[in-house]
Amino acid sequence: MIMAVRKIITLGNPILRQKAQPVSKITKSEQNLIDDMVETMEENEGVGLAANQIAVPKRIFVARWEGETFAIINPVIDWKGKEMVKGMEGCLSIPGIQAEVNRHLKIRVKGLDRNGKPIVLEPEGWLARIFQHEIDHLDGILIIDRSDQLFWVTTEKDEEGRERTRLVPTTKSAIIASFQKIKSSVRK
């Protein structure tokens, strides 16, 4: 089995804003895609990755939490607990940004596993957050759409030379403009 690390697309690529298409038949191609997604997620030190983040507009996501790896095809959240919790999230498609996002603490997700067998999962806490984040991606929704509490993540050295991470408040329009500027400078 040959796995490949795929290129993660970033904010400004229109595929990120499209609703991913349901998978009608699971073939070796989808299974290879899942393997590549896991490899890509791990290489980029992520905890989740949606297929459209690697420019494949299919309703598939992978996640890893506490040593367990998940691959869900055609996921649907069919129940959400009432309790909401705020937490900081980053995104491989918007590097250098974090957002404080309000999510359901518990959800139930139905879908198919990598072999096409129906599955039902009831994640809670951070795993529920990861699933909601990835399903948002499959619906063309990004963390900058879910929060007004947006931050640039910067690293600075203090007087003793130790690196310190700092969150600098920003806005959705500033983030979008910054990524447009990056894209246009790459094209030149």
**Position 184 pLDDT exceeds 80:** no
Per-residue pLDDT tens digits for 93-139? 999 999 999 999 999 999 999 999 999 999 999 999 999 999 999 99
Q: Write the Ramachandran bin of 124: left for phi over 0, alpha for psi from -120 to 50, otherwise beta.
A: beta
Return the CATH fold of 14-187: Peptide Deformylase (3.90.45)
Q: Span 3-20, mean pLDDT?
A: 96
- Give, in order, the Cα–Cα distances in Å from 138 to each of 28, 123, 161, 166, 184: 21, 18, 42, 30, 26
- Give, in order, the Cα–Cα distances in Å from 109 to each of 85, 131, 163: 18, 8, 39
User: Residue 76's pLDDT is what?
Assistant: 98
Between 121 and 157, the more confident residue is 121
**Position 3 pLDDT exceeds 80:** no
Per-residue pLDDT tens digits for 31-82? 999 999 999 999 999 999 999 999 999 999 999 999 999 999 999 999 999 9
34 φ/ψ angles, rounded to the nearest 5 degrees: -60, -45
Domain map (residue ranges) of the chain:
14-187
* Residues sharing a CB contact under 8 Å with residue 180, sequence separation 6 or more, in sequence order: 12
Tell me which residues are annotated as active site.
134
**Position 14 pLDDT exceeds 70:** yes
Q: What is the pTM of this model?
A: 0.94
Sign of the dihedral through C-alpha 35, 40, 46, 52? negative
Closest by CA position to 34, among listed 75, 70, 76: 70
